[in-house]
Amino acid sequence: MSVPAAYLGVVLIWSTTPLAVKWSGEGPGFLFGALGRMGLATLLCLVAVAIFRLEFPWHREARRAYLSGALGAYGAMLLIYWAAQYVPSGIISVLFGLSPLLTALFAQPLLGERAFTPMRLFGMLVGLAGLIAIFGASFSFGQQMMAGLVALCAAVVLQSLSLVLIKRHAGAIPSLSVTSGALLIATPLFFLTWLAFDHHLPAELPARAVASIVYLGIIGSVVGFTLFFYVLKHVSAHGSALIMLMTPVFALLLGAFVNHEHLSARVWAGAALVLFGLALHQWGELFGRLMAQRAGNR
């Protein structure tokens, strides 16, 4: 597979996922939309594991890896789907741009990765300033959007912790097997949640909602993560991190032009600060070294 094509595919899929999440709950409800997506993704992943005859172990560390994945597949996704009722799709993508910062924060004690440098800490502070600006702007939209933003922040924390724990426990288990194991845990939990809080089959299923559920189950889940893991194997960490900068920009534009989501100037400014903070966190040190080298050559 062409690496640039896979890279472009990840950017396009992740840019459209927040809007598809929002559309999938319009009509059938957010719990049915999430359950439909996860059920379809689980079926497809298990079929793929069987077709490619991938290892699917069930030893202690494997079970821990699957539970770690379920923390994101159920915990984070449940919060995302609920918050999507009140938060513009572009902002969902922007807040998830913070995940590399939180992943690095969790990786230090759990994986023993290198400590934060001053530039990385500065990047986190800039991202935090952007988050505060977005929260401040949400006051004008009411309490529901504020609650949605809080839920999204919790989802980012769970997703980031999930990724670090997967890396800690998964070892050599194939990525698709880890995803399948996580979905095997998450999907029944979504079903129980739907039974407890909704348990009504939707009276109607709008075509856009059905298409969004199918898109998320096939493209957003199975294809998207397969391409992402492929990119991670062939592109440097700095190159793959660029995905987190590109997708929020495209998602913001998509939400504004396709879904007619109105964002205030303060929200746009906050989003810019979040992305700038992420850029500083990922490439600030490299840029500083290049500038120092250029100054030394003069």
pLDDT band per the 50, 70, 90 thresholds, residue 148: very high
217 pLDDT band, cuts 50/70/90, is very high
CB 159 within 8 A of CB 72: yes
CB count within 10 Å of CB 160 equals 23
Q: Taking all residues of the chain, what is their mean pLDDT, rounded to a whole number?
A: 85
Q: Between 63 and 167, where is the model more confident?
A: 63
Question: pLDDT-derived band of residue 233, with 50, 70 and 90 as boundaries?
Answer: low
Distance, C-alpha 128 to centroid of its chain: 18
Least confident among 12-21, 96-105, 147-156:
96-105
pLDDT confidence of residue 140: 65
Each domain of the chain, given as residue ranges in start order, spans 3-297
Task: Give the model's pLDDT for residue 271.
Answer: 86
Residue 43 structure tokens: 């079926």
Identify the top-confidence range among 34-43, 140-149, 168-177, 250-259: 34-43
Q: Does 223 score more than 70 pLDDT? A: yes
